[in-house]
Amino acid sequence: MFVNCSFTAFFDKVLYMQKIFSYESSKDHYIADACIVWCFDDRFSKLLDEYIKQQKFAHVDLVKVAGGAKDLASPESDSAGAYLLDQIAKSIKLHHTKEIILTMHSECGAYGGNTDSGYYSSELEKAKSVVQKHFSDIAVKCVFADFGGVFDV
């Protein structure tokens, strides 16, 4: 009899998972109000929560990566920009996303800590252009965050 050792090892680990805590998540499918591309910088996590609340979004697909929309505007590699476009495409396919929101924030480490909001504004417009070429039938919005709030670009 043939036994795949790697599968067996994986299967054994699955059998012995230990629950950390219980929580009942909804199994209902949803339509995403927005797919938000946001930076993973935790200094802006509470601001993101407040932004989602202020926009009255019930469901969002959140793509959190270093630099937010940076890899759409000025990708460090072809695969980095492709990854973000793929995540947006999956949001649209799986959750019929109504809007794409591209973001960047002041003093972003992916941009070397730049504080020039005009520079970020220009980068967001480049990112928006890239996204609109791939998803022309969905609204694309650009937002800039700093330590005092969120701004439409």
The reported pTM is 0.86
Residue 11, phi then psi, degrees to nearest 5 = -60, -40
Residues written for the chain: 153
**Domains present along the chain, CATH in parentheses:** 26-152 (3.40.1050.10)
Please, are residues 95 and 30 in contact by the beta-carbon 8 Å criterion? yes
106 Cβ neighbours under 8 A, 6+ residues apart: 114, 115, 117, 120, 144, 145, 146, 147
Q: Which residue has the higher pLDDT, 40 or 14?
A: 40
What is the pLDDT at residue 17? 83
Concatenate the DSSP letters of all residues of the chain into one string: ----HHHHHHHHHHHT----------------SEEEEE---GGGHHHHHHHHHHTT-S-EEEEE-TTTTHHHHS-SSHHHHHHHHHHHHHHHHHH--SEEEEEEETTBGGGTTB--HHHHHHHHHHHHHHHHHH-TTSEEEEEEEETTEEEE-
Q: Report how far residue 138's alpha carbon sits from residue 89's, in angstroms, rounded to the nearest whole number.
A: 11
Q: What is the overall mean pLDDT for the chain?
A: 92
pLDDT tens sequence across 132-142: 999 999 999 99
Task: Determine the average pLDDT of the residues in 64-86.
Answer: 96
> Quick one: 24 exposed, middle or buried, by C-beta within 10 A (0-12, 13-18, 19+)?
exposed
